[in-house]
Amino acid sequence: DAKTTQPPSMDCAEGRAANLPCNHSTISGNEYVYWYRQIHSQGPQYIIHGLKNNETNEMASLIITEDRKSSTLILPHATLRDTAVYYCIAPDTGRRALTFGSGTRLQVQP
């Protein structure tokens, strides 16, 4: 899998946008970027994934740079329930499992 680098922790005020960065400078042209989050003592939850274009769904937006070496997950209006560890993953095409790094621990503050 392409190596991803994320800050270990971030804080965000409730109601504000949370912008979580991820560096994946070694990503190859056909590898997608996936974002998952894990709320304490639960299984990981899928958030969003993308290849080249920016993506948006009901949970978040994913902004991928034109050179695809980095991306940003945006939670537009963070709530306390968004406090979790967020994982950015770029699995090898053809790989069947996901490899998790350390992720970013997001703390949403009231």
Partner 1 sequence: GAVVSQHPSWVICKSGTSVKIECRSLDFQATTMFWYRQFPKQSLMLMATSNEGSKATYEQGVEKDKFLINHASLTLSTLTVTSAHPEDSSFYICSATRGTAFSGANVLTFGAGSRLTVL
Point out which residues bind partner 1 (CB under 8 A): 32, 34, 36, 38, 41-46, 49, 51, 87, 91-103
Closer of 66 and 97 to partner 1 (Cβ) = 97
As measured in angstroms, the least distance from the Cβ of 64 to partner 1 is 13
Backbone torsions φ then ψ of 82, nearest 5 degrees: -85, -5
What is the closest distance, in whole angstroms, from the C-beta atom of residue 79 to partner 1 in the complex?
21
**Is the separation of the CB atoms in 84 and 39 below 8 Å?**
yes
Shortest distance, CB of residue 110 to partner 1, whole angstroms? 24
Q: Considering beta carbons, is residue 67 or 97 the nearer one to partner 1? A: 97
As a whole number of angstroms, the distance between CA 101 and CA 21 comes to 14
CA dist., res. 47 & res. 35, Å (int): 6
Query: What is the Cα gyration radius of the chain?
Result: 13
